[in-house]
Amino acid sequence: MEGEKKKRGSRTRWPWVVLALVVVFVAMAMSSKTSPKIALLGAIQRACQCARGTPKYSGMVEDCCCDYETVDHLNREVLYPSLQELVKTPFFRYFKVKLWCDCPFWPDDGMCRLRDCSVCECPESEFPEPFKNPIRLSMNDLICQEGKPQAAVDRTLDSKAFRGWTEIDNPWTNDDETDNDEMTYVNLQLNPERYTGFSGPSARRIWDAVYSENCPKYPSQELCQEEKILYKLISGLHSSISIHIAAEYLLDEDTNLWGQNLTLMYDRVLKHPDRVRNLYFIYLFVLRAVTKAADYLEQAEYDTGNSNEDLKTQSLIKQLLYTPKLQAACPIPFDEAKLWKGQSEPELKQKIQQQFRNISALMDCIGCEKCRLWGKLQVLGLGTALKILFSVNGQENLAQTLQLQRNEVIALMNLLNRLSESVQFVHEMGPTAERIMEGHLSTHTKLISSWKKFWSYAGMGDSSVFL
């Protein structure tokens, strides 16, 4: 009798269990179906603005001289608007790049399935005439300052250094900038950095090589400050690139629908606080290089043959470099004088310089033309920042007077704009994206918990084997 009662009880429970499981499955399906739409289509822009409360990132940016709140305010109110206008000017719109290169490390097997992988090059008649006749100076033409400590960082620059654009190879980067026969001009406004479909093992191999071969494992107690900074620069650049891919993503290839993929941005950047912190770090690092070279950049000739546009470019440069708000709130974003203090620092500087050159060379291994374009531009921009902050030629007992190529300045300012856009995107969209994504994760967790309870109620024993 007792056994018969148990059987009848079990039979009466089963319909309710089945019904409950159907409800759970439907709820999970609806959740998984609506979640991507919310993330991908950017519906958060239409959501109500909730109180943010205490910012997730506050206090000083690590290894910098400015706090997160000040960076967000200055970027939103001052730097972002100025940079957006600056990079659209004819001078900063055209970038000279070597697109057809053999990978020095492995055979290129990159596959890119989208039309957006290709780069639209400029016909020779389009880009400015003054760009076609570079001035080349030999090392003997440069004035050197003697009497400085072997590895000391000079926080000042010759305010009367500009003597025309030159084409001297950057010791921090791999490309031969004097080989104009293999270089082509690209209109950056027609070739935006965004999702291209370049993915898979070939794409992952690039970043794996950058980190494993050139950046020491971090964090590690064995690393010195300079090695940590190299890692943080690369990590911050990686974060910025990921944000731009997520911010302009192909949501539907059939209808050519583009929008924000907040799921991707959350997975690659937002759920990793160190990656966000490194983004802010590289932004302040590059900003410091620009402000340190302010006198040089102010005097530079932004000649494109269009006098009205050239005057506008000069005005925007001065507006950016000498804005009172920036000078008052964050006069020295990063203090490079704290580095290269030990006796072995000359050897360490050469080692890190070679590591960054290797990173630069890896850009030739990118199997997607547009990805290669923006990889080369941003690595050259970062190499220019390193050149401004940490010497030029690496020769002992010499600190070379600053000389920049036109292409280096174009890359530097476009990189600063890219980083500014990323900081702006994280500040504006990050908190809501995190609430949405973490809310969906919480919903799935509750549904799984309910599933386990139903299995237990049905007398099926340990439900963990099914999950």
- Binding-site residues sit at 194, 196, 207, 235, 238, 268
Listed in sequence order, the residues at least 6 apart from 204 whose beta carbon sits closer than 8 Å to its beta carbon are: none
Helix axis angle, 225-247 to 345-362, nearest 10°? 20
In the annotation, is 66 catalytic? no
| Nearest partner of 139 among 173, 115, 166, judged by Cα | 166
The 3-class SS string of 48-97 reads CCCCCCCCCCCCECCCCCCEHHHHHHHHHHHHHHHHHHHCCCHHHHEEEE
b/e per residue 381-400 (b: at least 16 CB within 10 A): bbbbbbbbbbbbeeeeebbb
> Which position among 64, 101, 365, 368 bears the catalytic label?
368
Q: What is the CA radius of gyration of the chain?
A: 27
Measured CA distances, 145 to 127, 192, 289, 297, 459 (Å): 37, 41, 20, 20, 83
State the binding site for FAD: 194, 196, 207, 235, 238, 268
CA gap 235, 231 in Å, rounded: 6
Measured CA distances, 123 to 87, 94, 185, 233 (Å): 20, 12, 8, 35
In the annotation, is 224 catalytic? no
CA gap 183, 376 in Å, rounded: 12
CA gap 418, 402 in Å, rounded: 24
**Which residues are known catalytic residues?**
368, 371
